[in-house]
């Protein structure tokens, strides 16, 4: 019987794997991927970092957001081969060992995470925003997080987390 | 000493650090060596006979390790409800017929996604198309295509086809009630098809190993999943272990057994390898379960002063192709009708009707938003007709403390009157009401309005597994391990349980580690889908801690030569009140217990069941029997802005005044409220699953628009505290996780009327409907 998988030839051509180098959270990685493999799959399956979440595989929910050279990027619709020699940062990059960073702490202080599934993507979008703009306005926050869906919080506590960490008068709500 | 240190405080989430670092393991993060990918072949037709299935080509494909159909099952049916009246009606895969688009017919397990998908395409199925029916009113008519011909006829005296369930209830004499009424009104309200929108897709990993099925699956209660899986696989419960995984949102959509869970298990048993199924977002939109659109026909009679005298409801649920929770929602719709207002004469009929739509699931609120939208909308209309304000008519009819309900439940310290008064005061509703409608501003197309809606919700009821157990194991250094079957979906179950145990045992939150939601290692639990976790599992936790505390006190009293009632617990020490220098650390007391009490390491056990004198859940057919011990109450107001040029409406501000008894964690309560307001505004303005001939047209979040950060509403809340928490005593907390999608939906509808004069009788509140209403008003004025 015929065989239809990654080794199958299409129009006489076999899809060849490529060896890519990329930096993930400051570590150099060399991975071998088929050209069709998305960055999300490379991070989760090849590198083994599962903090980045897979919510829709179609670029609609933002759960898979990572930073590619500082730019928030939907890793589920970005080919891994596009990220050769790039610096990728994921949610696992934020804490220093057991020590959470101020943004992570602010999410806990405000109740900015409930089920937690959108949280890694939210945190990465917020990180990119704050690195460029340490005191974002409400409009800036809305613009930066508009691609990240959250079904649990109604967004209020997420906005407050960012206002807290950027020292704009919002105090921790939880003890 | 009676000062609470943990309970009643906005403590940060116990699972928070895992969730903000990416360490939290969801089902999609579970990796097992040799894991196969599973995929499902689904029906392309809404109603068809399966003439033949040919698996030979798929089975022969390299890399395919297993292919199954219904012939590979034991043919044991299952259902969300399984009672003599409503026997299980669903096979784990289609047998001979398909009754909705996307129904599961066959499943494959293969070495990778591409191979699995290729195998599905090699399965040949011959269908014979059968006539479908999608509209519940048509489906009820005689001669319409019968979807389950063998289903027991639950409405024998009626000529209707396809009635999957019927609830009938009532009291008093409605005919006489309407005759005595000064004003009677009839309206019809319709709600639309909405979906849960959980961010984490449905995922199941199953691994059959050493005569044991290990399962990780997106769920709302591990013990319910275990019972259903064990049943359809014909395995003892001890051979099925549902492991803990974090759950990325559920909102009702992850309770029932899904076909992919059976397929993962069966394929693992056949192949000897772990098998993983992940539902794509397109599959979730087009083939999985959504909420339940209800038609509510409502007739209400009142006295001149607004006192309700009679009400008659006929509710029709478009229940989809299998029973699902359709027969539950028509029962619950009765409960959400009768709880908030006193109605001396009431007649209720609810029909759950099979159609060739996808099966329905519970969805946050489970019938409550649909009936509150109807009742609260009509109540405002009536109030205006008889010339009283929306607050007065509600206060006149709202439940007061200690009322007994028609089902013999008691509302205890119901805070509804207080909720309404506070909501009215905080929004200044009566003064604002009618302002833009009566004298529209001339310089802008924006009209502002305010509206109110109220609701009441149950806080746990009896349904399998009926009760929760909790175990507290003291470690000999004085710290504690808690075993609970409770599942944390994001609502904060693990945090609340830890707070209660920390309070009862005078420990720090960090002294307690929690092991949760694992059917092999934790006690049985009711799950996070019956609105009773904080009350039922929380009281079990309290009792387990009380049990451990009592053991500590007995040993300490012996060691300290005092009586136990002279002792108190403080920061891992037991101290004599009469002589505070006489004290022992937990470490010393536990060592003494091991030495002198035959090795007793101090383990506390607790368990709780709501309505302990009630044998069973109330009758879904007649509503007889008690429903819940604790009714939550709320009054919610909405302030909206409507652009009369575009018809677009927006929720500007929501206020939720609610009686949840006593908030164990006010910060988590606030999180629940904000989330429900957001979900309700999505349902009010943005979201609709659109179908044509049983096919879902919008199968992605680009076309099914959920609220984004641009659609936030200001959400304020106020607690009406009606209960208290005391160490060592059982407590009554009330539901706060789903009922609050209800009053706010009604409040939005009432606020749109207040802003524009347009009374909407169906959800969603789209610009088209609002513009149409405005044009009709203009025509009437001319």
Burial code (b: 16+ CB inside 10 Å, e: under 16) for A118-157 equals: bbbbbbbbbbbbbeeeeebeeebbbebbebbbbbbbbbbb
Measured at the CA of B758, the angle between CA B753 and CA B763, to 5 degrees, comes to 85
DSSP-assigned beta bridge partners for residue B169: B348
pTM over 0.95: yes
Sorting pLDDT into bands at 50, 70 and 90, what band is B657? very high
Exposed (0-12), middle (13-18) or buried (19+): which is B287, by Cβ within 10 Å? buried
CA–CA gap between residue B778 and residue B758 (Å, rounded): 11
User: How many Cβ atoms are within 10 Å of B387's Cβ, its own excluded?
Assistant: 8
Task: For domain B31-130+198-250+254-286, give the CATH number.
Answer: 3.90.1170.50
Sorting pLDDT into bands at 50, 70 and 90, what band is A57? very high
CA–CA gap between residue B373 and residue B685 (Å, rounded): 14
B304 shares contact with chain A (CB less than 8 Å):
no
B 708-737 → A contacts, CB under 8 A: 708-710, 712-715
CB B435 within 8 A of CB B630: no
Cβ of A117 within 8 Å of Cβ of B199? The answer is yes
Q: Which residue of B has its CA nearest to A152?
A: B675
What pLDDT is attached to residue B161? Answer: 80
Q: Please enumerate in sequence order all residues whose Cβ is within 8 A of that of B92, keeping only pairs 6 or more positions apart, or say none.
A: B70, B73, B76, B78, B104, B232, B257, B259, B262, B263, B266
Taking the C-alpha atoms of A113, A117, A120 and A121 in order, what is their torsion angle to the nearest 10 degrees?
Answer: -110
B671 shares contact with chain A (CB less than 8 Å):
yes
DSSP-assigned beta bridge partners for residue B656: B636, B717
CA–CA gap between residue B55 and residue B71 (Å, rounded): 12
pLDDT tens-place string over residues B239-267: 999 999 999 999 999 999 999 999 999 99
CATH 3.30.365.10 placement within chain B: 294-461+617-781, 463-609
Number of H helices, E strands in chain A: 5, 7
DSSP 8-class letter at B449:
E
Structure tokens at B404: 């007994």
Work out the average pLDDT over B351-356: 96
Cβ of A54 within 8 Å of Cβ of B112? The answer is no
**Model ipTM value:** 0.97
Lay out the sheet containing B480-484: strands in order across. B512-516, B480-484, B467-474, B603-609
A154 shares contact with chain B (CB less than 8 Å):
yes
Residue A9 confidence (pLDDT) above 80? no
CA–CA gap between residue B556 and residue B574 (Å, rounded): 7
Sorting pLDDT into bands at 50, 70 and 90, what band is B157? confident
What pLDDT is attached to residue A153? Answer: 98
The beta-carbon neighbor of A174 closest among B11, B118, B201 is B11
Task: Give me the architecture of the A102-165 domain, per CATH.
Answer: Orthogonal Bundle (1.10)
CATH 3.90.1170.50 placement within chain B: 31-130+198-250+254-286
What pLDDT is attached to residue B684? Answer: 98
CA dihedral (B168, B173, B179, B183) positive or negative: negative
B 476-535 → A contacts, CB under 8 A: 489-492
Work out the average pLDDT over B663-691: 98
Measured at the CA of B16, the angle between CA B11 and CA B22, to 5 degrees, comes to 175
How far is B505 from chain A, CA to nearest CA, in Å?
Answer: 20
CATH 3.10.20.30 placement within chain A: 15-93
Which CATH code of 3.10.20.30, 3.20.20.80, 1.10.510.10, 3.20.20.70 fits the domain covering A15-93?
A: 3.10.20.30
CA dihedral (B482, B487, B488, B492) positive or negative: negative
Helix or strand holding residue B720 (H, E): strand B714-721
What pLDDT is attached to residue A15? Answer: 80
Contacts of A114 in chain B (CB under 8 A): 249, 490-492, 671, 675
B706 shares contact with chain A (CB less than 8 Å):
yes
Work out the average pLDDT over A7-18: 74
User: Among all chains, which residue has been given the structure tokens 């919510």?
Assistant: A55
Residue B182 confidence (pLDDT) above 90? yes
Contacts of B18 in chain A (CB under 8 A): 116
Cβ of A151 within 8 Å of Cβ of B29? The answer is no
Q: Phi first, then psi: what are they for A106, rounded to 5°?
A: -65, -40
Cβ of A115 within 8 Å of Cβ of B677? The answer is no
CA gyration radius, chain B: 28
Structure tokens at B457: 């919700």
B 248-287 → A contacts, CB under 8 A: 248-251, 278, 280-281
CA–CA gap between residue B94 and residue A148 (Å, rounded): 37
The beta-carbon neighbor of B12 closest among A92, A152, A174 is A174
Residue B782 confidence (pLDDT) above 90? no
A9 shares contact with chain B (CB less than 8 Å):
no
What pLDDT is attached to residue A5? Answer: 61
CB B318 within 8 A of CB B192: no
CATH 1.10.150.120 placement within chain A: 102-165
Separation in Å, CA A43 to CA A18, B11, B39, B76: 15, 34, 23, 41
What pLDDT is attached to residue B369? Answer: 98
Contacts of B712 in chain A (CB under 8 A): 154-156, 159
What pLDDT is attached to residue B1? Answer: 44
pLDDT tens-place string over residues B52-103: 999 999 999 999 999 999 999 999 999 999 999 999 999 999 999 999 999 9
Residue A4 confidence (pLDDT) above 80? no
Contacts of A37 in chain B (CB under 8 A): none
Contacts of B675 in chain A (CB under 8 A): 114, 151-154
Average pLDDT, rounded, for chain A = 94
CB B337 within 8 A of CB B170: no
CA–CA gap between residue A121 and residue B600 (Å, rounded): 48
Residue B336 confidence (pLDDT) above 80? yes
B 23-62 → A contacts, CB under 8 A: 23-26, 28-29, 31, 57, 60-62
Contacts of B26 in chain A (CB under 8 A): 53, 117
CA–CA gap between residue B682 and residue A159 (Å, rounded): 18
Work out the average pLDDT over B621-636: 97
CA dihedral (B71, B73, B74, B80) positive or negative: negative
pLDDT tens-place string over residues B529-553: 999 999 999 999 999 999 999 999 9
What pLDDT is attached to residue B155? Answer: 73
Average pLDDT, rounded, for chain B = 97
Helix, strand or coil for residue A99?
strand
Cβ of A113 within 8 Å of Cβ of B20? The answer is yes
User: Among all chains, which residue has been given the structure tokens 């649990």?
Assistant: A152
Tell me the percentage of chain B whose pLDDT exceeds 70.
Answer: 99
Contacts of A61 in chain B (CB under 8 A): 199, 701
Interface test with A, best of B22, B24, B636, B708 (most A CBs within 10 A): B22
Q: Where would I find the beta strands (DSSP E) of B28-86? A: 36-42, 48-54, 64-68
Contacts of A1 in chain B (CB under 8 A): 57, 60-62
CB B324 within 8 A of CB B349: no
Residue A8 confidence (pLDDT) above 90? no
Task: For domain B463-609, give the CATH number.
Answer: 3.30.365.10
Measured at the CA of B624, the angle between CA B622 and CA B627, to 5 degrees, comes to 120
Concatenating the DSSP letter of every residue in B182-231 gives SEEEEEEEE--------SSPPEEEEEEETTEEEEEE--S-HHHHHHHHHH
Taking the C-alpha atoms of A89, A94, A95 and A100 in order, what is their torsion angle to the nearest 10 degrees?
Answer: -170
Sorting pLDDT into bands at 50, 70 and 90, what band is A12? low
User: How many Cβ atoms are within 10 Å of B458's Cβ, its own excluded?
Assistant: 26
A17 shares contact with chain B (CB less than 8 Å):
no
Task: For domain B294-461+617-781, give the CATH number.
Answer: 3.30.365.10
Q: How many residues are present in chain A?
A: 175
User: Among all chains, which residue has been given the structure tokens 């099966």?
Assistant: B359
Separation in Å, CA B245 to CA B443, B681, B762: 56, 30, 39
Residue B156 confidence (pLDDT) above 80? no
How far is A85 from chain B, CA to nearest CA, in Å?
Answer: 24
How far is A20 from chain B, CA to nearest CA, in Å?
Answer: 22
Separation in Å, CA B319 to CA B59, B265, B329, B619, B688: 36, 28, 9, 19, 16
Helix or strand holding residue B769 (H, E): helix B767-781
- Look at strands B48-54 and B124-129 and give their pairing: antiparallel
Helix, strand or coil for residue B550?
helix
A 107-126 → B contacts, CB under 8 A: 107-109, 111, 113-120, 123
């Amino acid at each position: 019987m015929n065989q239809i998988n990654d080794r199958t030839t299409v129009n006489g051509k076999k899809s060849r794997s490529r060896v890519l180098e990329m930096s993930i959270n400051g570590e150099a990685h060399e991975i071998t991927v088929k050209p069709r493999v998305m960055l999300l799959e490379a991070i989760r399956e090849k590198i083994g970092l599962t903090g980045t979440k897979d919510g829709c595989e179609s670029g609609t929910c933002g759960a898979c957001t990572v930073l590619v050279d500082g730019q928030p990027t939907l890793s589920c619709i970005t080919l891994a081969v596009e990220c050769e020699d790039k610096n990728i940062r994921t949610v696992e990059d934020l804490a220093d060992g057991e020590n959470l960073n101020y943004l992570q702490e602010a999410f806990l202080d405000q109740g900015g995470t409930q089920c937690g599934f959108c949280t890694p993507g939210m945190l990465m979008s917020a990180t990119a925003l704050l690195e460029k703009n340490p005191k974002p306005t409400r409009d800036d926050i809305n613009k930066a997080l508009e691609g990240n869906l959250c079904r649990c919080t109604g967004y209020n506590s997420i906005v407050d987390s960012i206002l807290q960490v950027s020292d704009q008068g919002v105090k921790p709500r939880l003890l | 000493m009676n000062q609470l240190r943990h309970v009643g405080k906005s403590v940060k989430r116990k699972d928070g650090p895992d969730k903000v670092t990416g360490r939290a393991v969801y089902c999609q993060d579970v990796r097992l060596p040799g894991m196969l990918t599973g995929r499902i072949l689904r029906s392309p037709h809404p109603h068809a006979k399966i003439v033949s299935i040919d698996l030979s080509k798929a089975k022969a494909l390299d890399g395919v390790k297993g292919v199954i159909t219904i012939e590979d099952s034991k043919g044991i049916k299952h259902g969300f409800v399984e009672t003599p009246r409503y026997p299980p009606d669903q096979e784990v895969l289609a047998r001979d017929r398909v009754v909705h688009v996307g129904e599961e017919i066959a499943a494959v397990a293969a070495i990778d996604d591409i191979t699995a998908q290729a195998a599905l395409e090699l399965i040949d199925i011959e269908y014979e198309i059968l006539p479908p029916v999608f509209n519940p009113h048509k489906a009820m008519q005689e001669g319409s295509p019968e979807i389950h011909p063998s289903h027991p006829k639950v409405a024998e005296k009626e000529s209707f086809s396809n009635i999957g369930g019927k609830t009938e209830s009532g009291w008093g004499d409605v005919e006489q009630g309407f005759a005595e009424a000064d004003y009677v009104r009839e309206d019809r309200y319709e709600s639309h098809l909405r979906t849960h929108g959980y961010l984490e897709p449905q995922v199941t990993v199953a691994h059959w190993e050493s005569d044991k099925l290990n399962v990780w699956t997106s769920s709302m209660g591990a013990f319910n999943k275990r019972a259903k899986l064990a049943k359809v696989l014909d395995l003892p419960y001890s051979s099925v272990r549902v492991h803990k995984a974090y759950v990325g949102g559920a909102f009702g959509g992850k309770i029932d057994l899904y076909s992919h869970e059976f397929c993962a298990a069966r394929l693992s048993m056949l192949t000897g390898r772990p098998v993983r199924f992940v539902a794509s977002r397109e599959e979730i939109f087009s083939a999985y379960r959504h909420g339940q659109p209800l038609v509510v026909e409502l007739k209400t009679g009142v006295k001149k002063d607004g006192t309700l005298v009679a009400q008659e409801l006929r509710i029709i649920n478009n229940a989809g192709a299998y029973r699902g929770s359709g027969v539950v929602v028509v029962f619950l719709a009765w409960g959400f009708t009768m709880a908030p207002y006193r109605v001396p004469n009431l007649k209720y009929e609810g029909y759950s009707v099979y159609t060739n739509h996808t099966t329905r699931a519970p969805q946050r609120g489970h019938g409550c938003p649909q009936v509150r939208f109807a009742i609260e909308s009509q109540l405002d209309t009536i109030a205006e007709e008889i010339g009283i304000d929306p607050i007065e008519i509600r206060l006149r009819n709202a439940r007061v403390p200690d009322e007994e309900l028609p089902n013999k439940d008691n509302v205890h310290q119901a805070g509804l009157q207080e909720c309404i008064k506070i909501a009215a005061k905080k929004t200044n509703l009566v003064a604002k009401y009618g302002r833009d409608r009566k004298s529209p501003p001339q310089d802008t197309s924006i009209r502002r309005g305010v509206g109110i809606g109220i609701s009441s919700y149950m806080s746990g009821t009896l349904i399998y597994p009926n009760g929760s157990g909790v175990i507290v194991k003291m470690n000999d250094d004085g710290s504690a391990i808690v075993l609970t079957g409770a599942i944390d979906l994001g609502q904060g179950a693990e945090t609340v349980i830890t707070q209660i145990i920390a309070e009862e045992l005078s420990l720090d939150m960090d002294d307690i580690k929690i092991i949760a939601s694992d059917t092999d290692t934790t006690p049985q639990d009711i799950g996070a889908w019956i609105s009773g976790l904080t009350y039922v599992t929380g009281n079990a936790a309290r009792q387990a801690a009380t049990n451990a505390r009592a053991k500590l006190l007995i040993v300490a009293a012996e060691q300290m030569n005092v009586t136990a009632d002279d002792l108190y617990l403080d920061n891992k020490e037991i101290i004599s009140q009469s002589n505070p220098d006489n004290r022992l650390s937990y470490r010393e007391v536990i060592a003494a217990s091991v030495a002198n009490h035959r090795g007793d390491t101090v383990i506390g056990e607790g368990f709780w069941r709501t309505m302990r004198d009630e044998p069973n859940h109330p009758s879904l057919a007649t509503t007889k029997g008690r429903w819940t011990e604790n009714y939550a109450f709320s009054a919610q107001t909405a302030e909206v802005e409507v652009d009369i040029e575009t018809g677009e409406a927006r929720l500007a501000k929501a206020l939720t005044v609610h009686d949840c008894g006593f908030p164990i964690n006010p910060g988590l309560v606030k999180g629940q409220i904000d989330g429900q307001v957001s979900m309700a505004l999505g349902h009010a303005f943005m979201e609709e699953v659109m179908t044509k001939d049983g096919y879902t047209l919008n199968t992605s979040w680009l076309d099914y628009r959920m609220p984004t950060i641009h659609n936030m509403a200001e959400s304020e809340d106020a607690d009406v505290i009606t209960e208290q928490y005391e160490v060592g005593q059982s407590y009554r907390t009330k539901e706060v996780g789903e009922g609050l999608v209800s009053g706010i939906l009604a409040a939005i509808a009432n606020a749109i009327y207040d802003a524009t004069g347009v009374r909407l009788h169906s959800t969603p509140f789209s610009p088209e409907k609002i513009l149409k209403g405005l044009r009709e008003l203009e025509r009437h004025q001319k």
